């Protein structure tokens, strides 16, 4: 009796110490997160709960990597189920042989627990195999000590648990033993042992089990394992903005533009940083990183965390400024920040739903607006946007040059139309994109759609300026366009350009411009469904579709272009390994169309090699920027697959029919 009391008191004391250490560390992290500014508007609760179920309980994103996905799934669910054994182990400190009420003594529950002990151990085995034998590149940037530490601790907890259960069966023959198939095997090892010896093993493994758990508790707030605690709030507190929309900045009244110090980010950015488990999936899928560039989306998070933990405490203590390396320029070089294509591959992949693009754009905002330091060719694009409302220096084409000989209504000439065809600079000012535009107009007219254009009165939506960090210029252009659209009473817009589509749809509402916006592939798919466009002919070619980032990942539209292609008789479609959510950027996003891709391999050439791997004769696109990049890359790499817009392909099938 006295021994039980003493043991109970000792366990309580240890628990109090361990919990105290953990809470202290967690409180500091909470305060570090709150160093960030807010508020961040939250998404509707339903969406957040859905994400929680799908991404945490069902592991939807983690499972995209089969091996590490399944191992994590085992360990995660093992952790949930085996919480019951942890509670029971603590209970035994006070009442020997104590089990959870109702289920604790049930053989089926013991069976379940045993199953998960095995699954967790299998998970550990897969993890060790991955780290020691497979060695995926994405794990190279991780802190190996922390990773092996946690694997060791979990193994320790499982082994001591099995020993506790096995010896308990030998000593007490509890009711639950009937279901504990695995624990009974362990018990078998002690069959011939003296009762006293088994008692010693039982005591040692029980204490070891408890102590490892308590140490684990104090250690969770360190490094990547914090995600055990931060991931759920990070998903629950996810921001309301659609992925494709960047945050609106009140340029006139903000006391600083963008972020140049770690304390300039929002609290949600900081929570992201502490939710990162350093899995490296973001870096693995990053088109800049995988072509040999400096940008590393994981390092974005780990280095922000390092700086926050380093200078945060002093800032919390009221130090106005703390000496440290400059965030922009030193921690993250300017090259690092300008290499981001804002393609969203990292965001799509992140199991913690972290937002990489927002943080990079915040730092670009600092560079572009506070320091006016922008790579020269991008600066030329910005100057051109300012002077003539489009970013293509030396274009020399009129905005409606493509429409010569096409009967499309001109709203500035006083004509009225139900639909506005938003042309976009990349299409209007680059001759290669004139054919897709003309094809689109022919298709829409074949479907008897009433379409008009703004001609000279259309200006760039501001997408490149915004993504280069010049929010001021973006808002100037957007306000000008909204004024024009209001003046002509435009309500329905169709556009060939996913960048314009994204900006008009998600970003103009931030400034009061609300329209029904369709990407041309969506409208064409609908018109085909309604029977208003009937593809004919037989385009006997193999086509692979390149998903534009701003149509796919940023707007979730993967099917419409495929439906259009699928409707063309005779067209055989093949998919690239990197398609849909896993699509690989053409190299033009994030304003990088205006930056020569000089470091490592060219992103566009790598994309063309993906096309070549399919053996397709045609690479279909649905974006004028992708078109320009893929055309150049096809010429440079002597690829035989021709880039053609989905509208061009559909129009050809109709034209063949007309013959």
Partner 1 sequence: MEIIVCLKQVVDPELPARDFAIDPATRRQVREGRPLVISTYDENALEVALQLKDRVGGKVTALTLGPQGVAGDAIRLALAMGADEAVAVDDPHGVGLLGVEKARVLTAAIRRIGRFDLVLCGCESADWVERVVGPLLAEALAAACVTFVSRIELRNGALLVRRMADEGFHQLEVRLPAVLSVTSDETNRPRLPKVKDIMTARRKPVQVWPMADLSGTSLDGDAPGVEVRDVALPERTARCEFLPGDAAAQVAALTQRLRDLKLL
The span from the CA of 91 to the CA of 212, in Å, is 16
Site for partner 1 in 583-602 (CB under 8 A): none
Q: Least distance (Å) from partner 1 to the CB of residue 594?
A: 13
The span from the CA of 192 to the CA of 186, in Å, is 12
Cα dihedral 241, 243, 245, 247 sign: positive
69 vs 412 by CB, closer to partner 1? 412
Residues touching partner 1: how many (CB under 8 A)? 26
Instruction: For residue 493, report the phi and psi dihedrals to the nearest 5 degrees.
Output: -125, 135
Q: Least distance (Å) from partner 1 to the CB of residue 472?
A: 4
Choosing from 51, 181, 371, 581, the residue that interacts with partner 1 (CB under 8 A) is 371
Q: Which two tokens stand for residue 460?
A: 């760039």
Choosing from 382, 447, 565, 647, the residue that interacts with partner 1 (CB under 8 A) is 382
401 near partner 1, rule: CB under 8 A: yes
**Sole window of 22-30, 54-62, 187-195, 394-402 interacting with partner 1 (rule: CB under 8 A):** 394-402
Beta strands in 132-218 (DSSP E): none
Choosing from 33, 369, 441, 460, the residue that interacts with partner 1 (CB under 8 A) is 369
Site for partner 1 in 234-263 (CB under 8 A): 251-252, 257
- Residue 475: which residues within 8 A CB-CB, separation 6 or more? 251, 462, 511
The span from the CA of 179 to the CA of 181, in Å, is 6
Q: For residue 428, is the peptide bond before it cis, meaning its omega torsion is within 30 degrees of 0?
A: no
479 near partner 1, rule: CB under 8 A: no
Q: Which two tokens stand for residue 235?
A: 């998903």
| Terminal-to-terminal C-alpha distance of the chain | 99
Q: Least distance (Å) from partner 1 to the CB of residue 249?
A: 10
Q: Least distance (Å) from partner 1 to the CB of residue 367?
A: 10
C-beta separation of 199 from 172 below 8 A: no
Choosing from 119, 374, 576, 592, the residue that interacts with partner 1 (CB under 8 A) is 374
CA-derived radius of gyration, the chain: 30
Cα dihedral 496, 633, 557, 51 sign: negative
**Sole window of 50-58, 370-378, 481-489, 564-572 interacting with partner 1 (rule: CB under 8 A):** 370-378
The span from the CA of 309 to the CA of 318, in Å, is 15
Site string (74-103) toward partner 1, x via CB under 8 A: ------------------------------
Choosing from 294, 334, 370, 581, the residue that interacts with partner 1 (CB under 8 A) is 370
**Sole window of 19-27, 172-180, 346-354, 392-400 interacting with partner 1 (rule: CB under 8 A):** 392-400
397 near partner 1, rule: CB under 8 A: yes
User: Any bridge partners for residue 516, and if so which?
Assistant: 492
Q: Least distance (Å) from partner 1 to the CB of residue 252?
A: 7
CA-closest candidate to residue 109, choices 163, 173, 179? 179
Cα dihedral 342, 346, 348, 352 sign: negative
563 near partner 1, rule: CB under 8 A: no
3 vs 387 by CB, closer to partner 1? 387
Choosing from 185, 372, 538, 613, the residue that interacts with partner 1 (CB under 8 A) is 372
385 near partner 1, rule: CB under 8 A: no
C-beta separation of 606 from 583 below 8 A: no
511 near partner 1, rule: CB under 8 A: no
393 near partner 1, rule: CB under 8 A: yes
The span from the CA of 296 to the CA of 281, in Å, is 11
Q: Least distance (Å) from partner 1 to the CB of residue 428?
A: 11
- In terms of Cβ atoms closer than 10 Å to its own Cβ (0-12, 13-18, 19+), residue 1 is exposed
126 vs 259 by CB, closer to partner 1? 259
**Sole window of 108-116, 294-302, 374-382, 515-523 interacting with partner 1 (rule: CB under 8 A):** 374-382
- Residue 436: which residues within 8 A CB-CB, separation 6 or more? 427, 496, 624, 627, 645, 647, 648
CA-closest candidate to residue 85, choices 72, 103, 62? 103
Q: Least distance (Å) from partner 1 to the CB of residue 422?
A: 19
C-beta separation of 277 from 380 below 8 A: no
652 near partner 1, rule: CB under 8 A: no
**Sole window of 176-184, 356-364, 378-386, 597-605 interacting with partner 1 (rule: CB under 8 A):** 378-386
Residues that bind partner 1 (CB under 8 A): 251-252, 257, 368-372, 374, 376, 379, 382-384, 387-389, 393-398, 401, 470, 472
């Amino acid at each position: 009796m006295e021994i039980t009391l003493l043991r109970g008191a000792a366990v309580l004391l240890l628990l109090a110490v361990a919990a105290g250490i953990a809470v202290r560390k967690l409180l500091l992290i909470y305060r570090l997160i709150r160093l960030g500014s807010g508020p961040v508007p939250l998404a509707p609760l339903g969406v957040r709960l859905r994400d929680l179920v799908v991404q945490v309980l069902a592991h939807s994103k983690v499972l995209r990597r089969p091996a590490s996905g399944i191992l994590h799934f085992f360990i995660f669910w093992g952790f949930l189920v085996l919480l019951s054994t942890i509670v029971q182990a603590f209970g035994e400190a006070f009442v020997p042989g104590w089990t959870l009420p109702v289920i604790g003594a049930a053989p089926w529950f013991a069976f379940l627990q045993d199953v998960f002990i095995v699954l967790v151990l299998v998970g550990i085995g897969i993890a060790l195999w991955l780290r020691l034998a497979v060695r995926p590149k994405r794990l190279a940037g991780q802190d190996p000590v922390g990773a092996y530490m946690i694997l060791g601790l979990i193994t320790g907890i499982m082994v001591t648990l099995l020993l506790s259960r096995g010896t308990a069966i030998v000593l007490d023959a509890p009711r639950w033993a009937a279901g504990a198939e695995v624990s009974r095997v362990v018990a078998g090892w002690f069959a011939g042992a003296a009762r006293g010896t088994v008692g010693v093993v039982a005591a040692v493994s029980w204490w070891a089990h408890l102590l490892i758990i308590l140490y684990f508790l104090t250690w969770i707030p360190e490094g990547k394992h914090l995600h055990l605690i931060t991931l759920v709030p990070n998903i629950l507190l996810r921001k309301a903005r659609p992925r494709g929309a960047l945050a609106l900045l009140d340029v006139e009244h903000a006391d600083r533009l963008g972020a140049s110090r770690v304390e300039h980010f929002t609290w949600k950015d900081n929570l992201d940083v502490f939710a990162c488990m350093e899995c490296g999936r973001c870096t693995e899928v990053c088109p800049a990183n995988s072509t040999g560039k400096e940008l590393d989306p994981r390092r974005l998070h780990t280095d922000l965390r390092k700086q926050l933990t380093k200078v945060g405490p002093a800032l919390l203590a009221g130090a106005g400024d703390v000496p440290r390396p400059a965030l922009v320029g030193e921690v993250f070089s300017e090259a690092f920040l300008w290499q981001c294509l804002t393609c969203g591959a990292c965001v799509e992949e992140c199991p913690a739903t972290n937002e990489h693009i927002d943080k990079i754009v915040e730092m670009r905002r600092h560079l572009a607006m506070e320091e006016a330091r922008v790579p020269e060719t991008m600066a030329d694009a910005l100057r051109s946007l300012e002077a003539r409302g489009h970013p293509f220096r030396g274009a020399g084409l009129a905005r409606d040059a493509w429409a010569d000989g096409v009967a499309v209504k001109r709203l500035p000439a006083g004509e009225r139309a139900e639909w506005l065809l938003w042309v976009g600079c990349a299409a209007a000012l680059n001759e290669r994109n004139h054919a897709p535009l003309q094809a689109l107009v022919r298709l829409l007219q074949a479907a008897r759609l009433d379409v008009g254009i703004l001609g000279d009165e259309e200006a760039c939506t501001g997408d490149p300026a915004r993504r280069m960090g010049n929010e001021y210029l973006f808002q100037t252009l957007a306000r000008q366009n909204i004024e024009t659209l209001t003046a002509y009473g435009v309500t329905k817009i169709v556009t060939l350009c996913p960048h314009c589509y994204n900006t008009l749809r998600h970003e103009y509402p931030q400034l009061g411009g609300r329209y029904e916006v369709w990407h041309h592939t969506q409208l064409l798919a609908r018109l085909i469904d309604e029977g208003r466009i009937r593809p004919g002919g037989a385009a006997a070619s193999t086509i692979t579709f390149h998903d534009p980032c701003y149509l796919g990942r940023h707007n979730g539209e993967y099917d419409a272009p495929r439906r259009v292609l699928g409707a063309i008789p005779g067209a055989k479609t093949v998919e690239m390994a990197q398609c849909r959510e896993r699509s690989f950027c053409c190299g033009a996003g994030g304003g990088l169309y205006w930056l020569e891709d000089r470091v490592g391999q060219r992103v566009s050439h790598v994309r063309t090699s993906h096309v070549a791997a399919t053996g397709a004769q045609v690479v279909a696109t649905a974006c004028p920027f992708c078109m320009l990049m893929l055309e150049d890359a096809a010429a440079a790499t002597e690829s035989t697959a021709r880039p053609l817009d989905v509208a061009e392909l559909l129009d050809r099938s109709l034209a063949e029919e007309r013959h």
